Each structure stands twice: as C-alpha cells, then as structure tokens.
C-alpha cells in the first residue's frame, strides 16, 4: 500500500487518531465517514493506493457543489481542528484479499504515527439475538484495551460491549495469529463449510481490521450498530455521533448546516438513484 500525499498538502503529526470504515451491510461505516468528513470540513491530504482494492473514480463527493475534483477509492482526510485523520473507502476489496488489505492499512496507520484507530461498521440485524428496544438504537463496541474486549470509556459513554467477541474462539484466534509477525505456527484457513453462526462476527471486515491494528500495538475501538439493508442514513448518523463522542469532538468543531452539527454530503442527493419519471403521471 502506497500513501501518496496530495500536492501542496502535508501530513500532520498532531492527528494521532484515525477513523475509518469497515465494509459492512448497508455501507453504514462509509456513510458515517462521509458525514464526519463533510461536517468537520476535513481536507483531503492524500490517497492510499492498494492493489487489493477494486478501482473506482468519481466526482467530488462533498460539495457544496461538485467541482470536478476527482475522488479515488481510498482517500485520507485530516482536520487539524479535531486532530483526527479520516480514511474513506469507496470501493470493495477484491474477494479473498481482506486479510492482506487489513495488514497493509494497519502498516500505514502504524508508520504514520497513529495511536488510536476507530473502525466504524454495521452488523446484520438478523444476527441480533437479544433485542432491547427500551434503550433506543444501540451502539456496540469492541476494544483491545482489555483482553475481553471491554473499555471503561466506552462503557461510560453508554455503548454496549459486543458479547459475541471471544478471543479464544477459533476464528478470532486465527485472525490474531495471521497478523502476528512473530507467529511461526502453521495456520489452517477456516473453511467456509466449517463456519458456524458464532463465526459470523470474526468473518466480517471489521474483525480483520481490529486484529490487524491490535497486532501493530495500536489502541483500536470498533463501533458497531445492527441494521438491515435499506435507508441506512439514520444508522450512519448513529455511528458518526458515537464516533464524535468517543473521540471527544465538541460540537463547535463541526460546520453543520444552518448552525447544526451535521452537513449532508452533496453525493447523498442521488444515493437512491434518479427520481421517477413523472411524465408517466
């Protein structure tokens, strides 16, 4: 993975927190990062070029008007006012290459001096076993602060610990080992036929990223929410809000619309395709 700094820009050493999405159902992590970039006025400072990422290009996603600035598959933004780096991923990873991709991006984070990484992801609502609607939409977390995934800071913020995390589970152990540079043991790739329901969580991209960043000695927190495919904008707001609370971003750091906190990215205007052809009516 090569990091290419945009002409005239520089990397800030003060930005020790990295927020990035994991590919997940409803693209929620990516939508949440879109919101954070758009609302904090973060500027693009460079690109990450990885052979495991499928190609895509587009026009500027944030606006206020699309000005023809090219958008690439994996871009790095920084906001000095919030001392945070945001990476936005716009295209999928090639099938079967997620582990390699996670390894590469963890190497980038470590070599660029990041201390804390926040991974935003969603989970399939059909996998949620204990539904408690009394507390409203719930954000879950997984952290490497303690070995069981717990983090007091997240607990105080009201996030629910991901109880399905089992560091001794077969697939979680496999992920830990595969990113461990010192591991000499021959690893057996879990076969798709052998996977059980409990293996759903470690099979997801967020788990690969979590394990890769952990192996680099970085503090990593995954913020998760359950959702279904559909209108996932509310889920994006939920995760973006959680990320801003976790990283201590105060409301005055945001440049929302009409004095509010959030600014909707320009590209969201066409998220669900063109409007219907009214001439039929």
Partner 1 sequence: MEDVLTENPPPSRFFQEDLNNFVPPPESLPSPFIIFSNPKPELPLRPSLLIIAVSSPSLYVFHNLPSKTLLGSLIMPEVPFSGNTMEPSLEDKSCNIYSLSSTDDKNSILLVSVQLPVSPERSHIVSRLLIGQDIIPERVIILDSIQSRNFRGKLSPDETLAAKLETSSEKKATSCVNLDYFPSGSVIDGLSASLLSRCQLRNIRGTLVISWPEFGPSVVRFVGALLKNIVPSLDIASVNKDLDKYSSKTGLKKDAWLDSDLYT
Residues that bind partner 1 (CB under 8 A): 2, 4, 6-7, 23-27, 47, 49, 51, 53-61, 63, 66-70, 72-73, 90-100, 171, 175, 189-192, 195, 199, 202-205, 207-208, 229, 266-274, 276-277, 280
Cβ proximity to partner 1: between 150 and 200 the closer is: 200
Please list, in sequence order, all residues whose beta carbon lies within 8 angstroms of the beta carbon of residue 42, skipping any fewer than 6 positions away.
36, 77, 78, 79, 82, 84, 86
Q: How would DSSP label each residue in 179-225?
A: H-TT--SPPPPPPGGG--GGGHHHHSHHHHHHHHHHHTT-EEEEEEE
CA dihedral of 249, 139, 172, 101, whole degrees rounded to 10: -50
Around Cβ 7, how many Cβ atoms within 10 Å? 6
Partners of residue 225 on adjacent β-strands:
122
Q: What's the min distance (Å) between Cβ of 93 and partner 1?
A: 8
Q: What's the min distance (Å) between Cβ of 1 and partner 1?
A: 12
Cβ proximity to partner 1: between 49 and 152 the closer is: 49
How many Å apart are CA 90 and CA 150, to the nearest integer?
30
CA 79 and chain centroid, separation: 17
Cβ proximity to partner 1: between 150 and 173 the closer is: 173
Q: What's the min distance (Å) between Cβ of 235 and partner 1?
A: 14
| Among 26, 24, 1, CA closest to 205 | 24
Q: What's the min distance (Å) between Cβ of 12 and partner 1?
A: 20
Cβ proximity to partner 1: between 154 and 222 the closer is: 222
Q: What's the min distance (Å) between Cβ of 170 and partner 1?
A: 11
Cβ proximity to partner 1: between 206 and 249 the closer is: 206
Cβ proximity to partner 1: between 94 and 128 the closer is: 94
Handedness of CA 209, 214, 218, 221 (dihedral sign): positive
Q: What's the min distance (Å) between Cβ of 190 and partner 1?
A: 5
């Amino acid at each position: 993975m090569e990091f290419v700094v945009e002409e005239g820009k520089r990397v800030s050493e003060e930005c020790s927190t990295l927020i990035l999405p994991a590919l997940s159902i409803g693209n929620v992590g990516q939508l949440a990062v879109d919101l954070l970039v758009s609302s904090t006025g973060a500027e693009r400072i460079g690109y990450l070029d990885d052979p495991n990422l499928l190609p895509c290009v587009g026009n500027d996603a944030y606006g206020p008007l699309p000005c023809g600035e090219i958008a690439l598959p994996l871009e790095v933004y920084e906001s000095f006012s919030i001392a945070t780096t945001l990476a936005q991923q716009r295209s999928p990873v090639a099938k079967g290459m997620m582990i390699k991709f996670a390894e590469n991006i963890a190497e980038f984070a470590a070599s660029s001096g990041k201390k804390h990484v926040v991974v935003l992801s969603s989970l399939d609502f059909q996998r949620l076993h204990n539904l408690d609607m009394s507390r409203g939409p719930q954000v879950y977390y997984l952290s490497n602060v303690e070995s069981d995934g717990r983090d007091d800071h997240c607990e105080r913020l009201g996030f629910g610990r991901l109880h399905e995390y089992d560091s001794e589970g077969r697939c979680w152990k496999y992920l830990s080992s595969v990113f461990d540079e010192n591991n000499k043991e021959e690893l057996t790739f879990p076969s798709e036929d052998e996977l059980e329901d409990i293996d759903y969580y470690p099979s997801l991209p967020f788990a690969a990223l979590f394990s890769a960043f952990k192996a680099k000695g970085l503090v990593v927190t995954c913020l998760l929410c359950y959702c279904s495919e559909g209108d996932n904008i509310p889920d994006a707001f939920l995760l973006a809000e959680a990320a801003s609370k976790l990283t201590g971003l105060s409301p005055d750091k945001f440049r929302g619309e009409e004095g509010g906190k959030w600014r909707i990215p320009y590209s969201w205007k066409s998220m669900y395709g063109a409007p219907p052809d009214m001439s039929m009516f």
